[in-house]
Structure 1
Amino acid sequence: MKRWILLFSLSFIVGNIALGGRNKDSLRITREIYAIRATEHIYINGRLDENVWGKSDFANNFTIYEPYNGLKAFQQTEVSVLYDDFAIYIGARLYDTSPDSIFRELGQRDNSDRLRSDAFSVYLSTYNDGVNYLQFTVSASGVQTDIKITSNQSDRNWNAVWESAVGFDSLGWIVEMKIPYSALRFSKNINQVWGINFSRLIKRKNEVSTWNFVDKTQAGFITQSGILKGISGVKPPLRLSFLPYISGYVDQYAGTKGLDSRVSGGMDLKLGLAQSFTLDVTLIPDFGQVRSDDKVLNLTPFEVKYDEARQFFTEGTELFGKAGIFYSRRIGGTPAFYDTAYDSLKTNEIVDKNPLETKMVNASKLSGRFANGLGFGFFNAMTENTYAEILDTVSGNRRKLLTQGFTNYNITVLDQNLPNNSYVSLINTNVYRPVDSFTSNVTATEFNLKNKKQSFGISGVGALSQRFIDSVQHGFKTNLSISKISGNIQGYIWANIESEHYNPNDLGYLRSPNEISSGAALVYKVFEPFWKLLNLEARLEFSNSRLYNPKVFQSQEIEFQAKFTNTNNFTGGFNASYNPRYGYDYYEPRVEGRKFLTPHVLWLQWWGSPDYRKTFALDHRFSFWYADMYNQKGYMYSISPRIRFSDKLLTIYSWAYQSERNNIGYYDYDGSNIFFGSRKLVTITNTLSIQFAFTAKSFLSIRARHYIRHFKYNEFFTLKNDGLLEQTNSITNPENRNYNLFNIDMFYQWHFAPGSELVFAWKNQAEELLDNPQYRYFKNIEGIWNSPQNNSFSIKILYYIDYQMIRKFKS
């Protein structure tokens, strides 16, 4: 053991001397490249055969970003920049001494930097503000990716309309890009000065290199960019585009034999206002082709938060995410008075129809940034009246019940860029429902301040919520964090307060307010390869939580995390957490003022992810937890093999199994006694994903998910006032459950023209709820297969119309 420790220590020291000890100071310079005006038409064909390319300035001498940060790139790269009155052009010659070894896997748009493929990227910061920039990436297989990045938050749902092409020869490969000014926002200055950087990924080596050196030990990628000069006499164009669509649906609902069909149409409009603002409007929106939610059987007292998949709410909404008070699924979500349809039933009545979602009439968003770095955003959406239909089974009469009246949603945000990649924001959300005179208003500020060396930062959030129903309900939130963000040793301390009546949930998401919490973390990062590792990160964190009112103890946790990547590109990690004090859960009893004593819990987890460049890779995860009360324990494991059959076909299968013995949870409340139950809880999730790329612009994805959760009660308790449980025999017919859910989502996408696409979708869903658990897996398969199913077939065509292209064509 001593020899192993000595060997490890020597390896660490030698590795740091050889790699980490290199002098990077000479690399920390801001490089410049000049764009020249193109005097001839540039054909985007992947050949760089126009004469003007040979006269342009070159960006070369790339430096490795990872894994050996600071070394000279092993392959040469040369990049040139041209411009005219309509667009900026990027030409990259990527030399390769083994051109036959260049990886070229095909895949879906916006995923080109995650494929088994070489890739080239350009990063543009048109205001050179150190906070906001755009990334345009092209893979060696021709797949495009565009990403909007703000303060280290990336938005892959942002889509620009631009052109690219790749070519290959005996020297390596070539990338050509044409990025129209209509895809960018920039000032009216005669002489433009933009932040710019280029990166290259050589996938067979997992080597990423950049033109302007980016030090991994320092925070901030765009703050370490170079400068683009030379663009002169270019005016921001009128940015006006239309995206009309037409869609058709054929639906078959569970329990019915007939088919419902419908045809709809609408349009998205983008209009540039002034030099840097864009108005996005969606008229008669259609969101029927989004992927199905990964639904679960929820046994907690908290609402399940699902991801947003509707493109209008995911694209270009980075400003509206400030302070974390906007959850877009509220718009078009479950009606506010959905349950009243069932509570209002009279004799012989049943609920015949009760929509789970409100219908959106339209939505619009205006966002942009002034030359002084002040960003402004405004969002508005409206949903129409939503009714439940109640049927009298004797007379046949029907009546409608309003479950949510017309509702208007507003968001206004101001965001000021500050020096050193810092910012401060002010945001307000408002929900107004005139039918019941309901108003909800939340105002918040968020700030993130960093020093010039990007080594320390202080960030925070302050928020005030107001809800006007019969009376006014006020609440507030404050959050503050002080961090060391660069170097091998990093860390932070934080504190958070949420008052008892703080409630942003009419347009936001918060599991539970009424909390005072604080914590600290110490992080150690090794950026340079040493021994047999490429990198290493270890984190130790402590947190403590109390209620805001009354100020009583709630929970305490110590957590340790470690992750690494070795020289075989295997990434793994170990997590452990422990609750050193008995705590109290004030939410699981579901009755205000009551509490449930929680035990000491030890939780351990290992996870691993092999090199995705290989034909076969097996992701895996194992965890185990143990509690010192009520004989509670559980385990979870998941395996996810992925097989790359070719550069066009990839399959990913995932199996996850979780078992909890003596899971303790709320069961019932009879008005005086709260009953808890002990149950064996089993959750199985089975997912298969098939991805086939016909070309760089034509992609088929199929995803099937089978979710099972079942539990059986073995013991019941009465919750005492001190939080302890007392066994009871008063529950005689327990409500055990077996829940089955099966989904298939199939989407075929064809980008037949820039910004235009055809989408065909098939969505299938079957659901089953039984009174007793079914432990045999294939019996569950048989049950869900024989259950009534919902099927939806749809086709949608979107066509992009750009005013500048029409103007150019006419001229």
Structure 2
Amino acid sequence: MSKLSSAALFFLIFFSHTAFSQKKTLQAKSITENITIDGKINEQIWESASIASDFIMFEPDNGKPINNDKKTEVKVLYDNDAIYISAMLYDNEPGKIQKEITNRDVFGVSDHFSVYINGFNDGQQDFRFFVSAAGVQMDCLATEDYEDFTWDAIWDSEVAITELGWVVEMKIPYAALRFSKADKQNWGLNFMREIKRDVQKYTWNRIDTKIGAVIPQAGILQGIENIQTPTRLFLIPYSSAYYQQSDIGSGITLKAGLDIKYGINDSFTLDAILVPDFGQTKFDNAILYLEPFEQQFEENRPFFTEGTDLFSKGGLFYSRRIGGGSTTELLLANEEETTNYPSTVDLLNAIKISGRTEKGLGIGFLNAVTEKTKATIKNNDTGEIRKEVIEPLTNYNMFVLDQRFNQNSSVSFVNANTTRNGDFRDANSSALLFDLNTKQNTYNLYGDFKYSVINALEDYDGFKTEIGFAKTSGKYRYGFSGKYVSENYDINDLGINFYSNYHNAYANGSYRIVNPIKLFNTFRINQYINFEMDNTSGKLQTGAFGTEIKARTLSNDALEFVVEFSPFKTYDFYEPREYGKYVFLPQKVFTAVNFTSNDNNPFTIILQPSITIFNEKDRNVYGLYISPKYRFNDRFSLTYVLEYFNKTNDRGWVDTDKTGIFFAERTRETAQHDFTGKYALNNKMTINLTARYYWSYSKNHEFFTLQDSGYLTPNSTYAQNKDRNFNSWNFDLSYSWWFAPGSEISILYRNYGLERASVVEKDLSKNLKNIFNSDLTNVLSVSIRYFIDYNSVKNKF
């Protein structure tokens, strides 16, 4: 090859790399005409708008230009109310476009088009809006760490399937976005197209998967100038009615309330909830819980899930603390018993303010107040009834400052405070966090310092600190971190933390392919080591080496293999339930396999067997997760899930008295059956079924006494019955109709019950009979919520 040809080749390669690396720019066009969102794109003004085209594959074959028969063209218009987006998604086989109708925020088996908007162009958070070929909307707040699909905005979209492919038209009001108050806006922007049948995703501005950060690789939207945004004030009144029936009796409950959303300016929003009603939120999964910690539940209340990304920073906020159950222990005389102990505490009101300044400073404030709650106690000798406060009037407060800079880095301060009326416990915790990335997003340095203070009968404080470093780009990546948690670190009044008084060292290294190879579309292997030591005794509580392999085959089946070795003797400092005590844990190896079939097929299955083998005679844990799903058509699907665990010769705490701490060798078996069904009448109206039956037992074989050395010695005198048999049943059948943007009518029939016993019953039919013969509760509820835009009301009057 001649020197001239070599130079030309070098220039071509370099130019191609540079072209891919450059940020594309799209000009938005100002309009005064009305745009009808109907999926037709027939307004004349669209003809003169700039076009975003030349999409590049994001995955699996990163960097490959889109084929001409799948070319994609997007345009953007704007006025003082919103931006308008049209997309023509060409497809040479429009009959094969996947378009399953799902619930809102559920992707399903569909082609998708999405727009990613970063109003501050700071490379750190996107507002993402998706629409499927079936017309179903999805939206989320996205950072590099997670996508929050609990956030729901009010926006409009329509789609149409044509002979050339499919068409999308969207209207995204400024109220659904956050941006600076500058006269000339400069937004981060990207578009993504997913072709489901080919399992391919394309973006307008190329996202190089060799770089770990996605959001900074967006293009630029320019041209939005001198907009006069309307007042952002939204009222969402609601009304609901409940009819509840059980063996105890029946009754009707009527509720009404109001949610308020007010845009303080284009960057900050106030959300308030008055007289909240969470009666139709998803049920909690009741289980047989024998662990030394409290059971952690998912948050299902919309106010505490929508737009709370700022408050999640630092891990000091566990929203189920607000309105959760009381932890107060009642002191009862021998002749007294509790006749009513409320399981939850009523939330009186809550507000949150969040947003970000033009210079990248995010500010978040959340405040909630819960009601004074009392338990009822009866004296069985005298018949006297008394009430005792188990949770006083309580104020919960969160405050967050998050400064972003350099398009990819941030420093944050977080404070969580819980103040209880009277002589009850108060708490305060704070965190200082930093997350620093190099300009090219190749290396990351992160860390934190957290401090907690408890004011109770005895005041105490504690801290936690961590620092880590990682290479975040390329095929080969690595990271390592260190952590120290003091003995009295306690954030559990508004956060949740199980482990304290230890130090930790962690390291990992990984390899991944970024383009398909002979056998796989994607492939990644990660190896890690993790050590934790108790601060007081110096004993090892975790010592593990692990390997994770994840791959997707050319036929788009997903495979995963995990193996973790714990070859050292370790000690559990929590299972004994007494400070300063610990129990020996034998060496073990854990392995699991995951197979997930290509979800383009009508019948799909997820299969996850696992096993843990201990270096102790006949002590093992067997697990199985299996989930077949059948999609009858684009409207109707059924899914079944079985989760099964069998712990043979498991050892755990059962009792403590004046003579010692007692453990048992036991068999534990758990089977959970979940059945879900979905029928979509259209993309705004669905019928959903969720049924769950859970059965678990613990059968003790032999008892032991815990020694100060951490080892167990046989105990032949302990005779308490600590066997457990637990049944739980939940059934939800619901109808949902989004009859207008942000407005919904929902009807829910709920049937539930649980049964606890100290006699183990292994016959499934008898367990089912027992649960259905228990005091089942039936609830029928109707709820209506209506979204009111202040500007629409103002214009009418």
With the length of structure 2 as denominator, give the TM-score of the two structures: 0.96
Q: What SS does structure 2 have at the residue aligned with 1:52? A: helix
Deviation at 1:703, TM superposition (A): 0.9
- The answer to whether residue 110 in structure 2 is matched with residue 100 in structure 1 is no
The equivalent position to 2:488 in structure 1, one of 470, 477, 501, is 501
Cα deviation per residue 1:674-699 (whole Å; 9 max; x = unaligned)? 11110011111111011121111112
**Contact 1:39–1:52 (8 Å) recurs in 2:** no
Counterpart in the other structure of 1:412:
399
- Give distance in 2, aligned partners of 1:534 and 1:573: 14
| Aligned ranges 1:421-432 → 2 under 5 Å | 421-432=408-419
Which residue does the alignment assign to 1:292?
Answer: 283
> Which residue of structure 1 aligns with residue 9 of structure 2?
none
List alignment gaps of at least 5 residues for structure 1. Answer: 1-19
Q: Secondary structure at the match of 1:204?
A: helix
Contact 1:477 1:497 (C-alpha < 8 Å) held by counterparts: yes
Matched, 1:460 2:451: no
How far apart in 2 are the matches of 1:711 and 1:553?
Answer: 28
Q: How does 1:517-556 map onto structure 2 within 5 Å? A: 517-556=504-543
1:724 partner amino acid: Y
**How much does 1:470 deviate?**
2.6
Task: Report what 1:158 is aligned to.
Answer: 151
- State the distance in 2 between where 1:134 and 1:325 align: 24
C-alpha offsets along residues 241-265 of structure 1, whole Å, 9 cap, x if unaligned? 1001011111123x32x31111111
Contact 2:80 2:229 in 1 (8 A): no
Q: Determine the C-alpha separation between the residues in 2 that align with 1:507 and 1:630.
A: 42
Residue 14 (structure 1) aligns with: none
Query: Which of 191, 195, 199 is the matching residue for 2:192?
Result: 199
Tell me what 1:587 maps to: 574
> Displacement of 1:293 after TM fit?
0.9
How far apart are residue 394 of structure 1 and its match? Answer: 5.9
Checking the alignment, whether the CA contact within 8 Å between 1:420 and 1:451 is kept in structure 2 is no
Residue of structure 1 equivalent to 2:603? 616
Checking the alignment, whether the CA contact within 8 Å between 2:143 and 2:215 is kept in structure 1 is no
Q: CA deviation at 1:531?
A: 1.0
8 Å Cα contact 2:80/2:230 also seen in 1: no
Q: Tell me, in whole angstroms, the C-alpha distance in 2 between the residues paired with 1:346 and 1:676.
A: 28
Give the structure 1 partner of residue 51 of structure 2: 58
Q: Does 1:781 find its partner at 2:768? A: yes
Residue 116 (structure 1) aligned with residue 112 (structure 2): no
Partner of 2:72: 77
Corresponding residue number in structure 2 for 1:360: 347
User: How many angstroms apart in 2 are the aligned matches of 1:249 and 1:731?
Assistant: 48
**Code of the aligned partner of 1:39:** T
Within the candidate set 317, 332, 350, 1:344 is matched to: 332
How far apart, CA to CA, are the structure 1 residues paired with 2:651 and 2:31? 71
SS at match of 2:594: strand
Q: Does 1:657 align with 2:650?
A: no
Take 1:170 and 1:628, find their aligned partners in 2: how far apart are those partners?
64
1:708 and 1:741 in contact (8 A); partners too: yes
Asked whether 1:317 is paired with 2:312, we answer no
CA distance in 2 between counterparts of 1:59 and 1:585 reads 58
CA spacing shift, 1:344–1:733, aligned 2, 3 Å = closer
Q: Which residue, 699, 702, 727 being the options, matches 2:686?
A: 699
Provide the residue aligned with 1:275 in structure 2: 266
8 Å CA contact 2:288–2:697 kept in 1: the answer is no
Q: Amino acid of the residue matched to residue 582 of structure 2?
A: K
**1:803 positional shift:** 1.4
Which residue does 2:3 correspond to in 1?
A: none
Question: Given that residues 151 and 421 in structure 1 are in contact (C-alpha distance below 8 angstroms), is that contact kept between their aligned partners in structure 2?
Answer: no
Give, in whole Å, the separation in 2 of the partners of 1:566 and 1:739.
41
Structure 1 position 474 matched with structure 2 position 468: no
1:238 aligned to 2:224? no
1:563-583 CA distance string (max 9 Å, x none): 100011100111111111101
Which of residues 710, 724, 727 is equivalent to 1:737?
724
CA distance in 1, matches of 2:581, 2:178: 55
Q: Cα deviation per residue 1:465-488 (whole Å; 9 max; x = unaligned)?
A: 001113321100001111111111
Asked if structure 2 preserves the Cα contact closer than 8 Å seen for 1:185 and 1:236, the reply is no
The alignment partner of 2:281 has SS state of: coil
Q: What SS does the aligned partner of 1:332 have?
A: coil
How many Å apart are 1:145 and its aligned residue? 0.8
Listed one character per residue, the Cα deviations across residues 103-132 of structure 1 (whole Å, up to 9, x for unaligned) are: 111000012xx2111111011111111012
What amino acid sits opposite 1:300 in the alignment?
Answer: E
Contact 2:37 2:156 in 1 (8 A): yes
**Counterpart of 2:26 in structure 1: which amino acid?**
I
Aligned to 2:783: 796
Q: CA deviation at 1:392?
A: 4.0
Whether the 8 Å CA contact 2:547–2:562 is kept in 1: the answer is yes
**Deviation for aligned residue 1:805:** 2.5
Q: How does 1:128-139 map to 2 (within 5 A)?
A: 128-139=121-132
Alpha carbons of 1:394 and 1:718: their partners in 2 closer, same or farther (altered >3 Å)?
closer
CA–CA distance in structure 2, aligned partners of residues 498 and 734 of structure 1: 38
Amino acid at match of 2:462: G
Tell me, what secondary structure is at the counterpart of 2:154?
A: coil
> What is the CA–CA distance in structure 2 between the aligned matches of 1:572 and 1:345, rounded to whole Å?
59
Please say if residues 81 and 229 of structure 2, whose CA atoms lie closer than 8 Å, have aligned partners that are also in contact: no
Contact kept in structure 2, 1:420 and 1:454, CA below 8 Å: no
* One-letter amino acid matched to 2:680: A
1:186 aligns with 2:179: yes
Whether the 8 Å contact between 1:360 and 1:384 is mirrored in structure 2 is yes
Counterparts of 1:237 and 1:776 in 2: how far apart (Å)? 64
> Which amino acid in the other structure matches residue 777 of structure 1?
L
SS at match of 2:183: coil
Contact 1:196 1:225 in 2 (8 A): yes
Contact 1:285/1:361, CA 8 A, preserved across alignment: yes
Aligned to 2:20: 27
8 A Cα contact 1:708 1:739, kept in partner: yes
Inter-partner Cα distance in structure 1 for 2:347 and 2:516: 52
- Corresponding residue SS for 1:78: strand
Shift of 1:549: 2.6
Instruction: Name 2:6's counterpart in structure 1.
Output: none
State whether structure 2 residue 83 is matched by structure 1 residue 88.
yes
Tell me the residue number matched to 2:163.
170
1:445 counterpart = 2:438:
no
Distance 1:629 1:484, change over 3 A: same
* 1:401 equivalent in structure 2: 388
Q: Deviations over 1:60-101 (max 9, x none)?
A: 111111111111112111000001111110001111111111
Say which is worse superposed, 215-224 or 306-315, in terms of deviation.
215-224
Distance in 1, Cα, partners of 2:377 & 2:238: 35
Residue deviations 1:150-203 (CA, integer Å, cap 9, x gap): 343221111111110111221111100011112222222221111111111111
The CA distance in 2 between the partners of 1:21 and 1:252, in whole Å, is 73
Task: Report the Cα offset of residue 620 of structure 1.
Answer: 0.6
Residues of 2 paired with 1:703 and 1:572: CA distance? 28
TM-score by length of 1: 0.95
Q: Is the 8 A contact 1:201 1:207 kept in 2?
A: yes
> Could you tell me how far apart the structure 2 residues matched to 1:737 and 1:458 are?
48
Q: Is the 8 A contact 2:144 2:215 kept in 1?
A: no
Shift in Å, 1:24: 4.2
Q: What is the RMSD of the two structures over their aligned residues, measured on CA atoms?
A: 1.6
Match of 1:561 among 548, 551, 556: 548
